[in-house]
Chains A and B, each alone.
Chain A
Amino acid sequence: MDRRKLYVSLLLAAAALLLISSVALAQAPSTSGGVAPHAQFYAGKLASSKKLSPLAMLWAMRVLAGLMLVGGIFTIGSRNPVVAALCLVGTLFCTGIIFLLLHATFIAAIQVLVYAGAIMVLFVFVVMSVGHPEREEIGLSRGIISKLIGGAFAVMLLLRVSPVYMSYQRTVNAAGEIISKAMPPVSSKYGNVEHVGKLLFSDYLFPFEAISILLLVAIVGAVMVTRHRRRDDNKGAAAAAASAGEG
């Protein structure tokens, strides 16, 4: 069972990689202004496929969202933490590609580098250093009444959400053009490093500074909780690494 899940997750990661490369090729030239050298290189190679049509984008988005969902389900569902971590990698890759579809190239790169790269490596380190996990049943099983109530709320929520999907459907007409829903147009520089940097140090300066407080409290809190006095030092260090990864 576990092995099968591992294959699925690997498949997911592979598919995500494949997609990210293909979409990156298709997307890179379309951001005009401040185009990076490699993008110009690809632009020369792939001049014909400059832009995805809205309908193609919609379908790409759906496929990616589906993959993300599957990855997410395996992340929380699998008993083997390594499998869960790998599935999370797949999910994060798909998120990166969705950012690419939205022309947010910088965020996409950061998503893959930081989340799928750095943080996941930390996760895997922690999993490896903790060793084989105990097969402990988590007390999530509830009575039939709770399940019924939960199910009823889920159905209600789905009924509420479905009109959203339908209304989204209506934003693309049969010819594949977006019927605008009064969305403000974005600049051609949208999403590239220069644009993000300018925003970060003008409009978003204060949040940028405030984030440092958030990081500080995360680190100090993690140290405080996990630093045992004298005894149990090893356990504390492992837990500190885990919470640092999450923070």
Chain B
Amino acid sequence: MSSAFKMADFSFAAPIIFVALWACVVLLASAFSTKSSKLGPLTAFGFVIGLVITGYFWTALEQPRMSVFSGMLVLDRFSLFLDMIFLLAGLLTSLVAHGYVEEHGFAESEFYAVIALSVVGMMLMGHAGDFIIVVIGLETMSLGVYSLVASWTDKRKSTEAGLKYFVMGAVASGFLVYGIALLYGATGSTRLLVITSRAAAHIGDPLYIIGLFMVFGALAFKVALVPFHMWTPDAYEGAPTPITGFMAAAVKTAGFGLLVRAVSTIFSGESFAYGSTGWINIAWMLSMLTMTVGNVLALRQTNIKRMLAYSSIAHAGYIMLGVIAIPVLGLDPSAVLLYLLQYAVTTIGAFGVVAWVGRRDAENTGLEQWAGLGARKPAAALAMTIFMLSLGGIPPTAGFFAKLYLFKSAMGHPSLLILVVIAAINSVISIFYYLKPIVAMYFRDAGGEPIAEPMRSSSLSVAITLAAIIVFLLGMVPGSALEMAIKSTIGG
């Protein structure tokens, strides 16, 4: 352990520190201004600056890996790429939330500051070089998201969802910390790289293996893999719609980012990956169960929010497939990163349209209420069509290319071939339910008076337009994004 840190370390943590400070600015602005009407754009502006700073760091980083604050934080292109996904998700969410909050008039002015603070938590998770930072980051993110889910205090369902998510999440956090304690007990360190270097002495050590699986289980809860997914539909349905998108996109990305980091450090090593106590077998099963159960249950949903919740479970299964492929393919996270990026943008966009269609006292999340939307509000219907096609993986959208790249890179190993085939079958099944809203919007007439009619909000339409453009660009000209993802290697 090097005992000293340098003042320069603070400048390397600039993206995180900036977002944290901006959250405080938003918090102060909400305290001093009487109207909360400008807070959404203010938060979004901060996220744009954060994106610029992070982008600069991404290009300017010279070494493959820097560790600052005596190894507490890791700076590599992988974590900076994750930061950009979090910031983009935060940007889109705060814009969508701005319109939604104005329409429904529910949230307190702290709403946006909490979004920014939970983004800080996610960035900490992405940069974590030590389990202490992992715990702090995860808790910062989770506490923020719990309260965001329950922020609609007049709505019973929102409070119930927040409480359920909080209780279940607290159990998961308990498992994480217990697992970390066992790993510490086995190796005598909480630093990820130190644990990794000492892991060879603990092959077959039950303490180490149980610790690993407890950490794994806690992360599986955060990303909603199947036996740990029970909270997802309720929490997603009860939460305010922009927050549902935020959870599906950013929280999932943070969980998978940490999982990839764990896979490339403490989980690495042949004996931990394969064999009777290897994590790959279990991850294989979880991935298969997740995509299948998510898709099959999504088929039966008539509420769009619930349907998208199950769809997010199914996507977690696909991403898990990419995570399994990482150690097999020599620690190349590009497929997972690209998939996470497109999934984050697409899913926030889709939930954004769901938020757009709702009005005060009527959220309009039932499929039947969307009938004939294509004729009345072609813009909303078109945006929803793009996002649904992308989620279903149909060209020329981002979802198609990312899925293709993910499946193709996973096929590099024969042991994953069966899983890839299952995933392909699943994506075919998923097209059925992704087409349901499209059919409802364009081919079904709204009998009687039109029910769903989009609200007017410039920030919301900006967010959805931005998301739709990104989804299109990632699908049509994926070259530069792909190149960026490939360059975003995990250092060390």
B79 within 8 A of A: no
Given A160, A207, A213, A225, which contacts B121 in the complex, CB threshold below 8 Å?
A213
Smallest CB–CB gap between B63 and chain A, Å?
A: 19
Residues of B within 8 Å of A164, CB to CB, are 206-207, 210
Given A182, A202, A221, which contacts B5 in the complex, CB threshold below 8 Å?
A202
Docked Cα-Cα span, A205 to B9, in Å, equals: 11
B139 touches A214 (CB 8 A): yes
A220 touches B110 (CB 8 A): yes
B210 touches A207 (CB 8 A): no
Residues of A210-225 whose CB lies within 8 A of B: 210-211, 213-214, 216-218, 220-225
Smallest CB–CB gap between A152 and chain B, Å?
A: 13
Residues of A222-243 whose CB lies within 8 A of B: 222-228
Smallest CB–CB gap between B1 and chain A, Å?
A: 6
Known contacts A205-B5, A216-B117, A218-B143; is-contact A224 B111 (Cβ 8 Å): yes
Interface size class of A (residues with CB under 8 A): 20 to 34
Docked Cα-Cα span, A214 to B118, in Å, equals: 9
Interface size class of B (residues with CB under 8 A): 35 or more
Residues of B113-137 whose CB lies within 8 A of A: 113-114, 117-118, 120-121, 124, 130, 132-133, 136-137
A213 touches B120 (CB 8 A): yes
B133 touches A167 (CB 8 A): no
B69 touches A206 (CB 8 A): yes
Residues of A within 8 Å of B159, CB to CB, are 225
B150 within 8 A of A: yes
A183 touches B188 (CB 8 A): yes
A228 touches B207 (CB 8 A): no
- Interface flags for B124-161 (1: CB within 8 Å of A; 0: not) read 10000010110011011001101110110100000100
Residues of B within 8 Å of A227, CB to CB, are 108, 153
Docked Cα-Cα span, A223 to B113, in Å, equals: 12
Which of A160, A205, A221: most chain B Cβ within 10 A?
Answer: A221
Docked Cα-Cα span, A220 to B113, in Å, equals: 8
Docked Cα-Cα span, A211 to B207, in Å, equals: 28
A204 within 8 A of B: yes
Known contacts A202-B5, A214-B139; is-contact A220 B27 (Cβ 8 Å): yes
A221 touches B205 (CB 8 A): no
Given A160, A211, A214, A226, which contacts B143 in the complex, CB threshold below 8 Å?
A214
A161 touches B151 (CB 8 A): no
A223 touches B110 (CB 8 A): yes
A151 within 8 A of B: no
Docked Cα-Cα span, A182 to B2, in Å, equals: 21
Residues of B82-132 whose CB lies within 8 A of A: 107-108, 110-111, 113-114, 117-118, 120-121, 124, 130, 132
Residues of A within 8 Å of B13, CB to CB, are 206
B146 touches A221 (CB 8 A): yes
B133 touches A207 (CB 8 A): yes
A220 touches B72 (CB 8 A): no
Q: Chain A: interface secondary structure? A: helix
B144 touches A167 (CB 8 A): no
Known contacts A220-B27, A222-B147, A224-B151; is-contact A160 B210 (Cβ 8 Å): yes
- Interface flags for B372-385 (1: CB within 8 Å of A; 0: not) read 00000000000000
B73 within 8 A of A: yes
Residues of B within 8 Å of A206, CB to CB, are 5, 9, 13, 68-69, 72-73, 133
Residue of A whose beta carbon sits closest to that of B149: A225
Docked Cα-Cα span, A214 to B146, in Å, equals: 13
Known contacts A182-B201, A210-B133; is-contact A163 B69 (Cβ 8 Å): no
B4 within 8 A of A: yes
B143 touches A217 (CB 8 A): yes
Smallest CB–CB gap between A162 and chain B, Å?
A: 8
B3 touches A203 (CB 8 A): yes
Docked Cα-Cα span, A225 to B73, in Å, equals: 31
Docked Cα-Cα span, A207 to B68, in Å, equals: 12
Smallest CB–CB gap between A88 and chain B, Å?
A: 15
Residues of A within 8 Å of B71, CB to CB, are 203
Residue of A whose beta carbon sits closest to that of B136: A210
- Interface flags for A44-66 (1: CB within 8 Å of B; 0: not) read 00000000000000000000000
Residues of A within 8 Å of B108, CB to CB, are 223-224, 227
Given B9, B20, B117, which contacts A220 in the complex, CB threshold below 8 Å?
B117
B257 within 8 A of A: no
Smallest CB–CB gap between B242 and chain A, Å?
A: 15
Smallest CB–CB gap between A243 and chain B, Å?
A: 9
B70 within 8 A of A: yes
Residues of B within 8 Å of A77, CB to CB, are none
Smallest CB–CB gap between B226 and chain A, Å?
A: 14
Docked Cα-Cα span, A224 to B209, in Å, equals: 40
Known contacts A202-B4, A205-B5, A207-B130; is-contact A228 B20 (Cβ 8 Å): no
Residues of B within 8 Å of A143, CB to CB, are none
Footprint of A on B, CB under 8 Å?
1-5, 9, 13, 20, 24, 27, 68-73, 107-108, 110-111, 113-114, 117-118, 120-121, 124, 130, 132-133, 136-137, 139-140, 143-144, 146-148, 150-151, 153, 159, 162, 188, 201, 205-207, 209-210
Extra inter-chain contacts (14) besides given A203-B3, A207-B72, CB under 8 Å: A160-B209, A164-B207, A202-B5, A202-B70, A203-B5, A203-B69, A205-B5, A206-B69, A206-B133, A210-B137, A211-B136, A222-B147, A224-B114, A225-B159
Footprint of B on A, CB under 8 Å?
160-161, 163-164, 167, 182-184, 202-207, 210-211, 213-214, 216-218, 220-228, 247
Closest 3 pairs between A and B when the two form their complex, measured CB to CB = A221-B147, A206-B69, A217-B117
